[in-house]
Amino acid sequence: MADCVKAMVDAVAVPVTVKHRIGIDKSESYEFVRDFVGAVSEAGCKTFIVHARNAWLKGLSPKQNREVPPLRYEQVHRLKHDFPHLRFSINGGFTRDEQVTQHLRLLDGVMVGREAYHNPWWLSRWDECFFGEAPSNLTREEVEIAMCDYMVREAAEHGTGWPTIARHMLGLRHGLAGARRWRQVWSDHQLKALPPHEVMAIAHAPQAQAA
């Protein structure tokens, strides 16, 4: 790994970062991950994103590997303590503001994976909560309109069909009444010849009229 990182650092002008886990299979040795970070940082990586679980290479699928190995956040805090000059972002299992706030007190960043995808509206408060910006007045509908504009542009410029883009915004109304039907409309490939703004209108139409 250190050789790979060194080769990348020598070849590019941007920072090279490494995302890694805290161990392999059932080994809980802190020294293993500490020595890994030590060697890779000497090769020129200064920023580490640490998924705070072991990778069980034997017997678990990639999906199970995101859920089954226990989270051990304290290992990441220990790394920051031992390598204060390096930057560490923590990753794994975060779904709430309080968790992010707590870890940002001691670490340089928090990486969110699945929750950002399944519930992207959570991110809409982050600039205000964590970066001191004014509250955003954007509504989900305004974001959806901006996405429709983007779909129109991508179709014109690259011939991309809107379903390719829409599938990644299906979490936008997560937790709201009617979200299921809204998702069904935006997932309906039979509508793919319609312009995106019309699909949006159908997705928001009262159910009785749209049926």
Ligand X SMILES: Cc1cc2nc3c(=O)[nH]c(=O)nc-3n(C[C@H](O)[C@H](O)[C@H](O)COP(=O)(O)O)c2cc1C
Name which of 8 and 145 has its Cβ closer to ligand X: 8
Taking CB under 6 A as the rule, does residue 18 contact ligand X? Answer: no
Partners of residue 50 on adjacent β-strands: 20, 90
CA dist 158 and 162 (Å) reads: 11
- Compare residues 19 and 192 and give the one whose CB is closer to ligand X: 19
Closest residue to ligand X, based on beta-carbon distance = 113
Q: Which of 6, 34, 46, 66 binds ligand X (CB under 6 A)?
A: 66
- Closer residue to ligand X (CB): 44 or 93: 93
| Cβ contact 76:22 at 8 Å | yes
CA–CA separation, 168 vs 147, rounded Å? Answer: 10
Cα–Cα–Cα angle for 98, 117, 71, rounded to 5 degrees: 50
Residues 81-100 that bind ligand X (CB under 6 A): 91-94
Q: At its nearest, how many Å lie between ligand X and the CB of residue 156?
A: 29
Which tokens sit at 62?
Answer: 């990639």
Please give the residues from 34 up to 53 whose contact with ligand X meets the rule CB under 6 A.
51
Site for ligand X in 143-162 (CB under 6 A): none
Number of residues that bind ligand X (CB under 6 A): 11
Q: Which amino acid is at 101?
A: T
Contact 36, 1 (CB under 8 A): yes
| Secondary structure (H, E, C), 90-118 | EECCCCCHHHHHHHHCCCCEEECCHHHHH
Nearest residue to 197 (alpha-carbon basis) of 158, 155, 159: 155
**Contact window for ligand X (CB under 6 A) among 9-17, 27-35, 78-86, 108-116:** 108-116
Q: Which of 15, 113, 135, 178 binds ligand X (CB under 6 A)?
A: 113
Residues that bind ligand X (CB under 6 A): 19, 51, 66, 91-94, 112-115
